[in-house]
Amino acid sequence: MVFKAARSTYVIFTVFGGIPLAVWMVAFIVRPPEFPTLVKVFGLFLSYFCFAYFFISRYRFELNDGVLSYRSLFQGTKVLRLDEIEKAKLAIGDYSAGERSKPFYRLELFANDTSKKPIVINLKMFKKEEVQQILECLRTKMVGNGAGPKNKQSDL
């Protein structure tokens, strides 16, 4: 199974960039700026949308033949076999000191080999149904919030 970022993620990032763009366009109609300013602002919005869509497109979760692969823009691709996973932890806003850069909704996968860094999966980028499938595949490894066979993860 292969999961990519949900369409709703693209919509949200488009709205975040579209609101300031709409405000700027209204201001442009009311009081047109000079040409160099127009080019700079257009370039700024174009850069935002290009980066946002590229950033979102880098998210990918793959589970094939007992091998889990997760890719994001800043972490790159992380690969772990299912039998190497010691535990999986669903964390929602649960931050320790120095962890503020981690996603708010995340799945942390810890390997048996302590020399390997945990894989942190940003769950907010994927569809709710896909997140439930991911958690179901890792149900036996879950500890804490996501533990147990009866957990339906309806709070995501």
Boundaries of every domain in the chain:
2-57, 63-146
Which whole number is the average pLDDT over 104-128? Answer: 92
* pLDDT value of position 13: 95
DSSP code of residue 69: E
More confident residue, 95 or 118: 118
Mean pLDDT of 43-61: 95
Report the chain's terminal Cα–Cα distance, integer Å: 20
Question: What are the tens digits of pLDDT across the range 118-143?
Answer: 999 999 999 999 999 999 999 999 98
Is 37:45 a contact under the CB 8 Å cutoff? no
How many CB atoms lie under 10 A from the CB of residue 78?
17
54, pLDDT greater than 70? yes
Token readout for 140 is 């036996």
Alpha helices in 31-99 (DSSP H): 35-57
- Interatomic CA distance for residues 79 and 120, integer angstroms: 12
| 47: Cβ contacts below 8 Å, ≥ 6 apart | none
What is residue 96's predicted lDDT score, i.e. its pLDDT? Answer: 74
Looking at the predicted structure, is the pLDDT value of residue 47 above 60?
yes
Contact in structure between 138 and 80 (CB atoms under 8 Å): no
d(CA 6, CA 125): 6
User: 92: which strand partners?
Assistant: 105
> What is the predicted pLDDT for the residue at 40?
92
